[in-house]
Copies of this chain bind each other. A is one copy, B any other.
Amino acid sequence: MGQDDKVMPLIDMANIACGFHASDPDIMVRTVGLALQHDVMIGAHPSYHDIQGFGRRSIPHSATQIHALIWYQLGALAAICQAHGTQLSYVKPHGALNNDMMRHSEILEAVMDAVVQYQPGLPLMLPVTRDYKAHQALALSRELPLLMEAFADRAYDDRGRLVPRSVAGAVLSDPKAVIAQALNFAQLGGVNSINGEWLELPADSLCVHGDNEAALEAVKGIRQALSA
């Protein structure tokens, strides 16, 4: 909950952990209350069950297990929303589950099926990559709305994937660089790769990782620039 009080007034959408990699019922209630207070859309942030690894370690799951995992976590958060007179706005898988679904189409399809079977019309949020048209086709065949997410504070490689955090330059730490990348996504529908190649990546949502003070400054700058 470190910076939640500071970040919530600045954002439009909050990804809320559902107890499998972080959080617990008490914290979820407080976070939903905070989101409501600031009129922030609530996204469920389900993950593999791995508190120790913060959901960042891949754990093999069958499609049936992925369905169960997602339903359980979506429902837990949805109930807290419902008791507060609000609802989930979207689903965004966390950590290794997110990575795995972007690499293995059978996992992506299991995630998609879980969301659609739970609640038709509820959007799934995906990182936008060069494969976005294939992802849109998979979603369209299920009548699943997609939200494409771009990262304002992470560098992209020439294939439109995030540069791994272990590589120098992977994380943009200068708020000005973050703001510039955000404007590119918002106004030009893409971004330059870390090697300077232009990537066409149409995004519905911009993400800044909320774990340092620089992020706060960047988010304020992005809001000012976009409203200008």
Contact = CB atoms under 8 A, between A and B. Distances in A.
A24 B69 CA distance: 9
A71 to B, nearest CB: 4
For chain A, the bracket of interface size reads 35 or more
Tally of this chain's copies = 4
A119 B28 contact: no
A118 B119 CA distance: 18
B71 A80 contact: yes
A120 to B, nearest CB: 11
Given A25-B71, A73-B76, A76-B76, 18 more contacts: A25-B68, A25-B72, A28-B68, A28-B72, A50-B59, A51-B51, A57-B59, A58-B59, A58-B60, A71-B79, A72-B76, A72-B79, A75-B76, A75-B79, A75-B80, A78-B79, A82-B119, A83-B114
Interface of A: 19, 24-26, 28-29, 49-53, 57-61, 64-65, 67-69, 71-80, 82-83, 114, 117-119
